[in-house]
């Protein structure tokens, strides 16, 4: 592994008596999307705030792009971009004015700031709307403008705190495309998300964070492998569900979980198709006709369940 | 824009990684300009900032003027407006100061301060840009009082130099109040709470003072407070400068009152700025 561009060791942060971060260590390789996945209150935002120099942790160390964040925050700030949970843009300024202002605060002189703002707005797909006031922008456009503003300084590392929370599905796709685009240009992205789908889709590596601790870390595939090589999903008529659960528990050796829709059972299939065949035979023998039986790669939901004992609560958008 | 999109990363950075006094001034100007644009572009703010004080001016001049004129010192030249305008210059500063708290609380809530704090800019620029922009806004609104007052008949009775000194004193006092409200806004943190925390205490301070009326007829307990609180001290000094020493309460002289005003301004600014800077730093805790 090449030298990590984000290097966090034993970071602890207490808000009064509440321990928000409980000894977090992680390394992020340059040029990847790294996902911090966890439910509300897990400590994701606190960790981002430490790395973006907004918060001094109670103890521990953090380096970003080779700079000690705690010892030299100004140098770190010149190398990072931050897009928080809100679009921190001014509604009464135009898109271009917002981006130019951030450019000046990165230290660019007038003409450089103007030129750079033009480039970034072009890259982010807002060039045509750049001279309209942000008050006329949609929520998705504001998020993109916020991202544009954090790109002005050509950050080596971008921190995106729940970049798609609260925006419509189309805007979410646009933000995802931007993230992919960013990484292709060589920026390392550290993003937090409550959405398993988002982490699965975007992140090269994922750390699952819960109660201020990283409970597991790896590529999406590695995390899934850790649960079981495959997951068996059995859908039955609602009346048969509980009988099937008892029956299948005897076969796979653990209580099947219920999928989010409430009409299917999920369980590890350690013998792959062997488990599937055994399950179908048992159901048939008990007179239960399954509506659907599938053997799947485990989802991140399964991973989350396995490592935290709970399915993450997704906040509705 | 025809410029090709360049690599976001890899490019050798032209960005600063250190702040100096010169970059601090530039950053404060950038933030200050942004804050001023908000006043200019949101019409409701401009209306609130101008219509309300003008309304006070007209109402007080014509509703109270007739009843009060006979009781005023000869230095007012028989015109309540001459007495009222210096007071209203302080009144608009006091009522307008809450805007400093409101602006900072909104920036905190919207994540704008987080954005600023994640940039390699001078830490002082957020507060300097805010209080600096509010100084410009105050100069505009206080100036508007003078202009509208003059149109209705206000005339200073001394020299232009003394009038300008009074104007400068009003601005310095307004600036000190901005720092008080900066400290309030950074502690209260939500715009809704700022509405009560910043605006309500201003009412008794403005009315229990010499801003609208001489304090002589107030009950003793209130008069002791009114005569010694900063709004009265500064208002009296301004009247002394604009209307002549005869406008001061009996037994006071102009030099002492101006000195007392400047002392209040210095003390308020020093304490409030320290408090605001500490509150701003504490956001990082």
Rg of chain A taking only CA atoms, in angstroms: 23
Residue from B222, B201, B54 nearest B142 by CA: B54
CA distance linking residue A38 with residue A24, whole number of Å: 14
Token pair, residue A212, equals 């201020």
Cβ–Cβ under 8 Å, residues B211 and B85: no
Residue B9 lies in a domain: no
Q: Are A82 and B9 in contact (CB < 8 Å)?
A: no
Q: Which residues contact A130 (CB under 8 A, 6 or more apart)?
A: A94, A95, A96, A99, A117, A118, A121
- List the single residue in A80, A92, A123 with the smallest CB-CB distance to B118: A80
Q: Are B114 and A54 in contact (CB < 8 Å)?
A: yes
Distance from CA of A174 to the nearest CA of B (A): 18
- B contacts of A55 (beta carbons < 8 Å): 284-285
What's the pLDDT at B284?
A: 62
For residue B116, how far is the Cα from the chain centroid? 24
Pick the residue of A33, A99, A105 with the most B CBs within 10 A to test the interface with B by mutation: A105
CA distance linking residue A279 with residue A273, whole number of Å: 10
Its domain, for residue B197, covers 21-282
* Residues B60-80, mean pLDDT to the nearest whole number: 87
A187-203: string of b/e by CB count within 10 Å (b at 16+)?
A: bbbbbbbbbbebbbebb
Residue B8 lies in a domain: no
Mean pLDDT value across chain B? 89
- A contacts of B3 (beta carbons < 8 Å): 115, 118-119, 122
- B contacts of A105 (beta carbons < 8 Å): 27, 30-31, 116, 119-121, 125
Q: Which residues contact B111 (CB under 8 A, 6 or more apart)?
A: A84, A85, A86, A87, A88
Cβ–Cβ under 8 Å, residues B272 and B285: no
* Residues B94-115, mean pLDDT to the nearest whole number: 92
Residue B14 lies in a domain: no
Q: Are B5 and A123 in contact (CB < 8 Å)?
A: yes
- Quote the crossing angle between the two packed helices B160-188 and B191-199, to the nearest 10°: 130
Paired with A28 in beta bridges are: A6
pLDDT digits (tens, 9 = 90+) for B5-50: 444 444 445 567 788 888 999 999 999 999 999 988 987 877 877 8
Q: Are A101 and B117 in contact (CB < 8 Å)?
A: no
Residue B99 lies in a domain: yes
Q: Are A119 and B14 in contact (CB < 8 Å)?
A: no
Q: What percent of chain B has pLDDT over 70?
A: 94
What's the pLDDT at A304?
A: 74
ipTM surpasses cut 0.90: no
Q: Are B17 and A101 in contact (CB < 8 Å)?
A: no
User: DSSP for A117-169?
Assistant: HHHHHHHTT-GGGTTSBGGGS-HHHHHHHHHHHHHTT--SEEEEESTTTTS-H
Q: Are B16 and A78 in contact (CB < 8 Å)?
A: yes
What band does B1 get if pLDDT is binned at 50, 70 and 90? very low
Counting one residue from chain A and one from chain B, the pairs whose CB atoms sit within 8 A come to 130
Residue B129 lies in a domain: yes
Residue B12 lies in a domain: no
Cβ–Cβ under 8 Å, residues A250 and A285: no
Token pair, residue A35, equals 């996902």
Name the domain count of chain B: 1
pLDDT digits (tens, 9 = 90+) for B250-270: 889 999 999 999 999 999 999
Sketch the domain layout of chain A as residue ranges: 6-224, 229-297
Residue B5 lies in a domain: no
Q: Are A88 and B110 in contact (CB < 8 Å)?
A: yes
* Residue whose structure tokens are 């007179």: A287
Say if residue B277's pLDDT is above 50.
yes
Range among A34-48, A143-157, B32-46, B259-273 with highest mean pLDDT value: B259-273
| Closest CA in chain A for residue B4 | A119
Highest CATH level, class, for A6-224:
alpha beta
Rg of chain B taking only CA atoms, in angstroms: 21
Cβ count near A280 (within 10 Å): 15
CA distance linking residue A149 with residue A316, whole number of Å: 27
| Closest CA in chain A for residue B32 | A101
Q: Are B17 and A121 in contact (CB < 8 Å)?
A: no
Q: Are B17 and A74 in contact (CB < 8 Å)?
A: yes
Say if residue A6's pLDDT is above 70.
yes
Q: How far is CA B234 from CA A245, B134, B228, in A?
A: 81, 19, 10
| Closest CA in chain B for residue A108 | B15
For residue A94, how far is the Cα from the chain centroid? 30
CATH number for the segment(s) A229-297: 3.30.70.600
- List the single residue in B5, B38, B117 with the smallest CB-CB distance to A54: B117
CA distance linking residue A181 with residue A125, whole number of Å: 12
Per the rule left: phi > 0, alpha: psi between -120 and 50, beta: everything else, A11 is beta
Say if residue A135's pLDDT is above 80.
yes
Distance from CA of A194 to the nearest CA of B (A): 20
């Amino acid at each position: 592994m090449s030298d990590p561009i984000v290097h966090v060791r034993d970071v602890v942060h207490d808000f009064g008596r509440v321990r928000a971060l409980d000894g977090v260590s992680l390394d992020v390789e340059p040029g990847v999307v790294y996902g911090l996945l966890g439910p509300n209150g897990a400590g994701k935002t606190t960790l981002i705030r430490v790395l973006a120099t907004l918060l001094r942790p109670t103890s521990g160390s953090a380096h970003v792009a080779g700079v000690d964040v705690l010892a030299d925050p100004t140098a770190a700030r010149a190398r990072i971009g931050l897009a928080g949970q809100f679009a921190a843009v001014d509604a009464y300024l135009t898109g271009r004015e917002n981006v130019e202002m951030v450019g000046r605060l990165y230290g660019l002189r007038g003409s450089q700031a103007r030129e750079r703002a033009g480039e970034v707005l072009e890259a982010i797909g807002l060039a045509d709307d750049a001279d309209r006031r942000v008050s006329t922008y949609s929520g998705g456009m504001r998020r993109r403008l916020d991202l544009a503003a954090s790109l002005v300084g050509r950050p080596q590392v971008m921190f995106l705190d729940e970049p798609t929370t609260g925006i419509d599905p189309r805007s979410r796709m646009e933000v995802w495309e931007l993230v992919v685009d960013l990484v292709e240009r060589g920026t390392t992205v550290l993003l937090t998300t409550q959405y398993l789908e988002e982490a699965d889709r975007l992140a090269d590596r994922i750390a699952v964070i819960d109660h201020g601790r990283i409970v597991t870390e790896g590529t999406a595939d590695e995390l899934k492998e850790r649960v079981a090589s495959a997951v068996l999903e059995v859908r039955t008529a609602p009346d048969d569900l509980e009988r099937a659960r008892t029956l299948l528990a005897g076969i796979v050796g653990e209580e099947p979980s219920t999928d989010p829709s409430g009409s299917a059972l999920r369980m590890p299939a350690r013998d792959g198709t062997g488990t599937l065949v055994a399950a179908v035979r048992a159901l048939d023998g008990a007179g239960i006709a399954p509506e659907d039986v599938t053997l799947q790669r485990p989802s991140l939901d399964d991973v989350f369940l396995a490592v935290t004992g709970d399915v993450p609560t997704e906040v509705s958008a | 824009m025809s410029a090709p999109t360049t690599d976001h990363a890899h490019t050798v950075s032209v960005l600063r990684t250190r702040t100096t006094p010169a970059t601090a001034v530039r950053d404060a100007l950038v933030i200050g300009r942004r804050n001023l644009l908000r006043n200019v572009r949101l019409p409701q703010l401009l209306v609130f900032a101008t219509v309300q004080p003008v309304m006070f001016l007209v109402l007080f001049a014509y509703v109270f003027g007739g009843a009060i004129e006979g009781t005023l010192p000869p230095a007012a030249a028989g015109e309540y407006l001459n007495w009222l305008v210096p007071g209203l210059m302080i009144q608009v500063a006091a009522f307008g100061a809450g805007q400093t708290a409101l602006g900072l609380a909104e920036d905190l809530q919207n994540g704008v301060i987080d954005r600023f704090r994640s940039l390699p800019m001078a830490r002082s620029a957020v507060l300097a840009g805010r209080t600096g922009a509010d100084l410009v806004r105050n100069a505009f609104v206080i100036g508007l009082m003078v202009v509208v007052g003059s149109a209705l008949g206000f005339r200073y009775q001394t020299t232009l130099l003394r009038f300008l000194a009074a104007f400068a004193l009003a601005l310095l006092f307004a600036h000190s109040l901005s720092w008080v409200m900066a400290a309030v806004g950074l502690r209260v943190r939500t715009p809704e709470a700022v509405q009560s925390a910043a605006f309500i205490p201003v009412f008794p301070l403005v009315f229990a003072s010499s801003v609208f009326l001489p304090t002589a007829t107030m009950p003793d307990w209130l008069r002791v407070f009114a005569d010694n609180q900063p709004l009265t001290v500064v208002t009296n000094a301004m009247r002394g400068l604009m209307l002549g020493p005869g406008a001061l309460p009996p037994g006071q002289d102009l030099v002492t009152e101006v000195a007392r005003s400047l002392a209040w301004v210095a003390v308020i600014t020093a304490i409030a700025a320290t408090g605001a800077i500490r509150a701003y730093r504490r956001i990082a805790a």
